[in-house]
Amino acid sequence: MRIRKKPWAEPELAACDFYIKNPAETRGNWSKVFEKQQPLHLELGCGKGSFVAQAALAYPHVNFIAVDIKSDMLGVGRRNIVKFFQEAGKTVDDVKNIALVAWNVEQIEKIISPEDKIERIYINFCNPWPRGKHKKRRLTFPLKLMKYREFLEEGGEIRFKTDDDELFEESLEYFEECGFRIDYITRDLHNSDFSKIYGENFMTEHERMFSQEGIKIKYCTAVKDVLPEKKDGEKEVSE
């Protein structure tokens, strides 16, 4: 997603109590960042923050770490989170279960360790990177899934949404290759029983945009399971 330079973003983030200035120093100690010790969920590529804002309001008993590579995006995210909280009759001081983090997911292992025991990861509308050589940049690419496995609790899950057919179908293969079992799947989220089963569907900015264009949203829940055995000579995962 392209975003214009926002000169106000970095100063506002620097003054924000729920923005983590040195995330690498927090590795292994994320639960201490939050007021209450409770399950940790991680959103990768959080964009403008509406998803994490809605989730944090709906689930005050969960702590959310929301990561994006762009500070300008996180600046918009910070404002949106405050707006969502205010619309719910709360103030900025009530934002106790969100940590905003500017970081490149390519190096996620430098800020999150197995001790952090992440219960759930959300990947919403990550860039599809359709061209061969670029596919490894996908947030669902096997090398990344193997990194996520390291800090995802046993039985933890990845909830993945996208508009992109090819990314979705290839990600299903990546999940299988990396020992994730598909627990729920739909290729038309808004006409599925997802909300009935899960009790909600928090719309992201991209989800709203693509569904207004008539594009069906693809979704799956991938649960961490045992790694498939490799045959002799086979690589650990696709590179």
Which residues lie near ligand SAM (CB under 6 A)? 1, 45-47, 67-70, 73, 104-106, 124-127, 204-207
Smaller CB separation from ligand SAM, 53 or 95? 53
Taking the CA atoms of 172, 176, 179 and 182 in sequence, report the sign of the dihedral they define: positive
CB 142 within 8 A of CB 237: yes
Complex with ligand SAM: residue 47 or 142, whichever CB lies closer: 47
| 104 versus 195: smaller Cβ distance to ligand SAM | 104
CB half-sphere exposure, 55, CA atoms < 13 A: 26
What minimum distance in Å lies between the beta carbon of 207 and ligand SAM?
Answer: 6
Partnered with residue 65 across adjacent β-strands are 42, 99
Nearer to ligand SAM, 57 or 126 (CB): 126
Least spacing, CB of residue 77 vs ligand SAM, in Å: 9
Tell the smallest beta-carbon distance from residue 169 to ligand SAM (Å): 18
Supply the minimum distance, in Å, between the C-beta of residue 217 and ligand SAM.
Answer: 10
> Which of 151, 165, 156, 161 lies closest to 190 in space, CA to CA?
161
Query: Hey, CA dihedral for 99, 47, 69, 17, is it positive or negative?
Result: negative
